[in-house]
Amino acid sequence: MQKRLIPVDVSHTWCTHWRTGGRYAALELELLGGPFSPGLCFGKRVVSYDTREKIVYVRTEDGLTLEGLMIEPARKAAPLETILWFHGVHRKFSEIEYVEIGRLLAGRGYRFITANMRGHDFGTWFRTEKGAFLGGSAWELFSQSPIDVAAWVEFATRDCAEILLAGHGVGGSKIVYYQSERRDPRIMGLVLASSASLFREKMRQDLQAEAEKMIMEGHEKELLPWGTRNSRQAATISAEAYVDLNRVHEVLYGFGNIPPALSRIACPILAWYGTKEKLVNKDIDDFLSRVRHTATSSQLVVTKKLVGVDYFYTGSEKAVAGQIARWITKLRDFAQQRE
């Protein structure tokens, strides 16, 4: 196939908009034209693959519109597997590392969708038929995250039966919560990427009474003191989000007779952590060991320590894409052995 590099200014694009059956809206940025493969320029760096990229939208059952980027092979029938990638706290679908990981996987023949959830960025307004809706990591209700995952799974399964859910950081907790609650048979496996919040959320635990008082007084959207949430950077959340998160934690982490959500998942699970992340090696080993010992219902559990990889995966996109590609191959082999 003949190739040429086409500089693209991604800050100003012309797109086509359409609706399918009134349920999904998709906004496509076609980066493949005629017989040529595209090249995207980021500063001095040029990336060129035989792939195509589309900005896509889904509408959730409660009326929110979420954006994503779908990257797939350009000259191939519908791929066998689709990877749905969900962002971490304060982040969004278009992080450059996410996009690069997707391009590498699409170059290997997979479809990759990096997808926004209602908790993207620190704060964001959604337009809905009922008026403005406040989202973002400071105002999202974690208990509503399965609604977002479900919308993307519905979108991805229109022409692809095999779906791999991948969650980065708190995105990993969200896909665990989704699968433990929904037990979706369309999910071939999970990837828990640097998801320390599977077992604990770095949140002040002494604000429950204050948050409940704020809600009673009608100030549920107001923020708690700065530093209430302290993961990789100090932040906070609303009173409503704080109370909701504490309620979900009982299901996510286990409480009394309620087992942890991770223990209720039957599909295969891959979990990894980078050695250059904030946790020291001993804590990483403890975290991965806890994943293996908690995921008691899973058919297959694999944990990895990624040497030289930091939380944001900057410069490690090939390593991350390689882990996902090898995991899919392992899942294929595992499925054949069980037939």
Give strand pairing partners of 54. 70
Say yes or no to pLDDT of 115 above 70: yes
Mean pLDDT of 6-19: 31
Mean pLDDT of 55-73: 97
Share of the chain above pLDDT 70, in %: 83
Q: Sign of the CA dihedral 148, 269, 279, 320?
A: negative
Say yes or no to pLDDT of 28 above 60: no
Q: For residue range 36-45, what is the model confidence (pLDDT) as tens digits?
A: 233 333 343 4
Say yes or no to pLDDT of 15 above 70: no
Q: For residue range 173-191, what is the model confidence (pLDDT) as tens digits?
A: 999 999 999 999 999 999 9
Strand order across the beta sheet in which 269-274 lies: 51-59, 65-73, 111-115, 81-86, 162-168, 187-193, 269-274, 301-306
User: What is the pLDDT at residue 281?
Assistant: 56
Write the DSSP symbol of residue 5: -
CA atoms of 327 and 190, how far apart (whole Å): 10
User: What is the pLDDT at residue 66?
Assistant: 99
Judged by average pLDDT, the poorest of 86-90, 157-161, 251-255 is 157-161
Mean pLDDT of 77-89: 88
Q: For residue range 193-216, what is the model confidence (pLDDT) as tens digits?
A: 999 888 777 788 899 999 999 999
pLDDT, mean over the chain:
85
Q: Which pLDDT band, with edges at 50, 70 and 90, does 7 fall under?
A: very low
Sort 152 into a burial class: Cβ within 10 Å, 0-12 / 13-18 / 19+: buried
CA atoms of 291 and 312, how far apart (whole Å): 21
Strands (E), the chain: 16-20, 24-28, 39-42, 45-48, 51-59, 65-73, 81-86, 111-115, 124-128, 131-135, 162-168, 187-193, 229-230, 234-235, 269-274, 301-306
CB neighbours of residue 318 within 10 Å: 12
CA atoms of 320 and 333, how far apart (whole Å): 20
More confident site: 201 or 62: 62
Mean pLDDT of 82-108: 97
Say yes or no to pLDDT of 30 above 70: no
CA gyration radius, the chain:
20
Say yes or no to pLDDT of 60 above 70: yes
pTM: 0.85
Share of the chain above pLDDT 90, in %: 71
Judged by average pLDDT, the poorest of 67-81, 201-215, 286-300 is 67-81
Write the DSSP symbol of residue 246: H
More confident site: 281 or 334: 334
More confident site: 35 or 168: 168
CATH number of the domain located at residue range(s) 16-195+268-283+302-338 in this protein: 3.40.50.1820
Mean pLDDT of 273-289: 84
Judged by average pLDDT, the poorest of 31-40, 115-124, 166-175 is 31-40
